[in-house]
Structure 1
Amino acid sequence: MKTYHYDFVVVGGGMSGVCAAIAAARRGTKTALIHDRPVLGGNASSEIRMHICGADHHMSVPNARETGILEEILLENKRRNPEMVYPIFDSVLWEKVHYQENLTLFLNTHMTEVLCDGDRIEAVCALQMTTEKTFCIFGTLFLDATGDGVLGAKAGAEYRIGRESSSRYGESLAPDMEDSCTMGNSLMFKARDMGHEVPFIKPFWANTYTEEQLRLRDHSDITSGYWWIELGGGERDVISHGEELRDELLKAVFGVWDHIKNGGEHGAERMELEWVGFLPGKRESRRLIGDYVLTERDCLKSPRFDDAVAYGGWPMDIHTVEGFLNESGAPTVWNQVNGIYSIPYRCLYSKNIRNLFLGGRAISCSHVAFSSTRVMGTCAVVGQAAGTAAAMAGKRNLEPRELLDYVGELQQELLKDDCYIPFVVNQDPADYARQAAVTATHHITGWEPEKVINGVARTVEGESNGWRAPIEGGPSLVLTLPERIPIREIRLMLDSNLSREITQSINQDVLSRQKSGPPSELLKEYEVDILLEGKIIEHMAVQSQGQRLQRIFLNGREGNAVRIKAISTYGSREAVIFEVRIY
């Protein structure tokens, strides 16, 4: 058995684990990411192919899309993968992790044992199936991003499975009595138009469905489907009966497709199955318990937490018990939340395992609140918050709970990396731009230049929070500092249209709402000048590479002004910059 030692060990390579591991490694933290599948992304990978949902609820909440590392990944995918081919998305995720300094990736590696010393995790043991190698991976801090809360459960962390009673947290959407019911697993499929009629021969083992049986389950879009092909969470739990549920889901998928092809007028004469998943996507199993449990009230009332580090906004999407087996009930009930709500840091570490962070869908919340926080966009920003916290805690030799004393600094670090936190604004004392006088050659009314230093890097409730000007003629933005300083880095937050979906998907409706390539609103080319008493002392021509967050590294020469000139966009006739930071 080979032994390794890391500062931070992340178990689970879904979107939350990926973002957490990258966030920690970028801060110099020696990080390991252990994942038991051949590809990263979890439910978003080519193995399952679920699109990444989040607080924008399929573009129904303006300017709510998650940013940070998730945005970086999805924008890179838009630039490199305009046809939204899933194996290419797998490669983008792998590249981001594999080539990240300070980050070691263990793919096809299954955690078999957790070694603890009392209420602390010392190491995890794992088997890499492809090489038959065994590892003992020691760490100072750990993150459970397994989805099922496996690391926490093996370590003895407090967790819950099932639905709390309505009286426990005063939740109107909870049942009268607590039970062990969870949401179920789903299996996806993709179909393609062959341009000519294609028959479908139903396998002998596939189920048979009538239009009456499917009357409450929309199957009008026959290009892909269906989240409502869902089983488990009632008599059969989604973990111990996982293999059995997969088999039953295959019977259901092929039975639904037989109904579409051979069971009436569905316009599917030319359609054939292109792909059927063999790895079900999970929704709910264990929920690990932290110092705070997020509840229905928090999703509805949106309280201001002093330790807010992330946000959600997906509806409380509570699926019917037994899923597809319940033909008389709607597959889910959409309970809207109040815009977006904050998620406190206290939900992101274990209540009783002292060095365990929580990520993904296993964070500390009730079953009702979980029905909103479980989606991957929310999981990703939670992961980045946990990974950033782990890096900060490691440098201070602190346990996760002890970092609460530094939560203000954690919030500022997250904002700096383009993670939005409701009601938290840029107060970074190292950002010289906050002291600057800001002017521009042109601007559009309501988008004045000084807004690039107001502390908010996106439009919120109608307030633009950015500078906008016609791109024609190359408009310029100038930040004049009160004194000359060595300038080593400039950060810009551009406009990537946070009201539009950019997620990878197999669903034609989701893809039809998107534009090919990077968002047209993004700056494509711009120039940066460092000025000293009006003279250019350093000049850079920059290509944005289709990214919203821009980091421009400079030589540290002293200047007293920064000028940014917009040259071109990816299609828009207007240039937009939401924030400028100077370090």
Structure 2
Amino acid sequence: MAADPNVDVVVYGATPAGIAAAVAAGKSGQSVLLIEPTNRIGGLVTSGLSHTDFHSLESLSGAFLDFANRVEAHYIETDGPDSPQVEASYHGTFGEPKVNLAVFHALLDEHPRVERIHQHALSALKLSESQSQKRIESATLVDPQGNTRTIRGSVFVDGSYEGDLMAMAGVEWRAGREGRDEHGESLAPEAADDQLQAYNFRFIMTQEESNRVTPVAPPGYQREDFVGVLDAIASKKIERVFDYPSKCIFKAHLPVLPGGKYDINDVSRGLVRLSLPGKNLGWPDGTAEERQAIYDEHLRDQVGLLYFLQNDPEVPEAFRQEAKQWGWCRDEFLDTNHLPPQLYVREARRMQGVSIYTQTDSEYAEEGTRAKFHRDSIAMADYGNNCHGTHHEGPRFGGKHSGEFYNPVPPYQIPYGVLLPKEIDNLLVPGAVSSSHVGFCALRLEPVWMSLGQAAGHAAALAVQLDQPVQQVDVASLQSQLHANGSATIYVSDVLPDSPDFAGVQWWGAAGGLLKLYPEGTPRKPRGKKLHGQYTEAAPGHAVELDQPLDAKLEQRWRALAESMSVPLAGLPKANGTTTRGDFIRAAATAARE
């Protein structure tokens, strides 16, 4: 079969990372093919994960912030600017799956250079080798009818959660946990093992009768699999079937989503869990059939548990009646009986690439109020290492997860090397990024994946334009493109993407100019004041305070930094009592451009 004409950038997997990569490459003027192996784009953002994981709004930038703004604009246009739906969307970060899906499609429709195809799975790659480097020449895809299509590309981006393209290309990867000494990680186990962070579904449910669909028993339901939950209820440690954030069986995230809908999740450290450690070990490197079997097992367990609680006569009446008030949403997931089409794959393969992101990368630096500094940062986040458990001890109900941790850290940077394989010179991997298990637990969040995807898309475009390996892309040029497109590479709490100073401050921060702005001994607080649920005000110790007077000591340090960057010093202002920090950074940015 003759190969299709060349495409500049081939993106496999229309997850949020894949979509962000495709859009970024398309905006940069490249021809892009976005390939989704299923019939639904958007990954978990359109499959139930609507209660987005971040802490402060100030951590949102770039592709995800643009997406959230579009979701909010959808509700404003549909329901009115003062509507409950707009308020419930929390600045567009809490969107109904059907709205998130529509917004993703509308976003892609704006970019004619991005072609997208659905239900085409990767079946083969053709690689070439010269000297010590390998290169992907083409990818062959297969549709559900068995028809094949071969795509030639200049640069490939693996946007899948599982790293399927990466693995087929022969890139080194890992699943399971590293031992504590391998990377010096206190959250890692003593010895390496094959344990994997557990999966569950993110159901979308409602109590509103007009939009409620009554759950039915799933295929393979057996009552005896669920009778153990009666002992958990009798223990008095469970107060309700649905609640937030604890002492319940199904965590119904608050605040409620628009449309009276709830994003349902596993109860962290709960007596009864939805996540099933050990049941997912075959997923990372599994065939489509093996993954389907794991999907089916999780569905049987989690829908079966709900069905039991709603219908079994031995369930205490108060619990049974409460459970019956909940159901699937009639207007969601119409093709899959109102159930999410995707399982929440929290962790699968992890590339072992140029840089391996570990626990220390999101911990405090030795000095100052910030995390470890990465001059080659291409994204930032503020969530922290979060693992719902990797092993279960004891009975299905009433046992205990192990390998669970929730680690508060200051906002952190992510280096370019986590996207880069060592072996392939035209592949970027923003989904199954290069990391340890513990490190990955700080990166596995949809806003972070979108930032990583955006960086991968711009890097791919630069590699195409300059005809160079992705490993040789100039990081400063990549950062400049990211900043120009509103994507932050360092957390700055008081200069956000809508500020005219954003690009200049981010440029200065990428060079190290924002380190040690606070006096020695300033208390370290990784998170700001709690707002609601997991959401907080901006992280303290991360403001640049552009209106503050520039003192002589800071001027001296900043001048030395400017000189090291070959920025002309003649036009830089001096500390004179009226010059501000903002004056200096603006002058330095202008001098650097000129």
| 268 and 24 in structure 1: CA distance in 2 versus 1, 3 angstrom threshold | same
Q: Does 1:363 align with 2:402?
A: no
Residue 88 of structure 1: how far off its partner (Å) = 3.1
Q: Does 1:237 align with 2:296?
A: no
Cα deviation code 1:235-277 (max 9, x no counterpart):
8422434222222212222233135435333433433333333
Letter in 2 for 1:177: A
2: distance between equivalents of 1:110 and 1:394? 25
Cα deviation code 1:105-152 (max 9, x no counterpart):
11111111111113211110002337x642111111111111111111
Structure 1 partner of 2:70: 76
Structure 2 partner of 1:103: 114
| 251 and 399 in structure 1: CA distance in 2 versus 1, 3 angstrom threshold | same
1:58-97 equivalences in 2 (<5 Å): 62-81=56-75, 83=85, 84-97=95-108
2: distance between equivalents of 1:499 and 1:80? 30
Letter in 2 for 1:219: I
| 451 and 181 in structure 1: CA distance in 2 versus 1, 3 angstrom threshold | closer
| TM-score, scaled relative to structure 2 | 0.67
2: distance between equivalents of 1:120 and 1:137? 14
| 366 and 147 in structure 1: CA distance in 2 versus 1, 3 angstrom threshold | same
2: distance between equivalents of 1:179 and 1:217? 31
2: distance between equivalents of 1:336 and 1:226? 19
| TM-score, scaled relative to structure 1 | 0.68
The secondary structure found in structure 1 opposite 2:438 is: helix
Structure 1 partner of 2:177: 163
- Answer whether contact 1:299 1:337 (CA < 8 A) is retained: no
| 199 and 373 in structure 1: CA distance in 2 versus 1, 3 angstrom threshold | closer
1:246 to 295, 304, 307: 295
Structure 1 partner of 2:48: 49
Residue 321 of structure 1: how far off its partner (Å) = 2.1
**RMSD across aligned C-alpha pairs, in angstroms?**
4.0
- Answer whether contact 1:81 1:89 (CA < 8 A) is retained: no
| 363 and 202 in structure 1: CA distance in 2 versus 1, 3 angstrom threshold | closer
1:271 to 322, 326, 340: 326
- Answer whether contact 2:195 2:281 (CA < 8 A) is retained: no
Structure 2 partner of 1:134: 148
Cα deviation code 1:479-503 (max 9, x no counterpart):
xxxxxxxxxxxxxxxxxxx9999xx
The secondary structure found in structure 2 opposite 1:3 is: coil
Q: Percent identity?
A: 22
2: distance between equivalents of 1:331 and 1:399? 42
1:21-60 equivalences in 2 (<5 Å): 21-45=22-46, 48-51=47-50, 53-54=52-53, 56-57=54-55
Structure 1 partner of 2:553: none
Structure 1 partner of 2:377: 308
| 36 and 98 in structure 1: CA distance in 2 versus 1, 3 angstrom threshold | farther
Structure 2 partner of 1:392: 462
1:425-444 equivalences in 2 (<5 Å): none
Residue 509 of structure 1: how far off its partner (Å) = 7.7
1: distance between equivalents of 2:350 and 2:49? 21
- Answer whether contact 1:181 1:233 (CA < 8 A) is retained: yes
2:478 to 385, 397, 410: 410
Structure 1 gaps, min length 5: 426-448, 464-497, 502-507, 514-578
Letter in 2 for 1:455: V
Structure 2 partner of 1:562: none
More strand per residue: 1 or 2? Answer: 1
2: distance between equivalents of 1:269 and 1:458? 56
The secondary structure found in structure 2 opposite 1:186 is: coil
Q: Does 1:189 align with 2:203?
A: yes
1: distance between equivalents of 2:455 and 2:341? 32
- Answer whether contact 1:121 1:355 (CA < 8 A) is retained: yes
Residue 218 of structure 1: how far off its partner (Å) = 3.3
**What is the aligned length?**
447
Letter in 2 for 1:106: I
Letter in 2 for 1:89: N
- Answer whether contact 1:316 1:371 (CA < 8 A) is retained: yes
Q: Does 1:16 align with 2:13?
A: no
Structure 2 partner of 1:121: 136
| 200 and 411 in structure 1: CA distance in 2 versus 1, 3 angstrom threshold | closer
Letter in 1 for 2:486: D
Residue 330 of structure 1: how far off its partner (Å) = 4.5
Structure 2 partner of 1:481: none
Structure 2 partner of 1:531: none
2: distance between equivalents of 1:65 and 1:211? 42
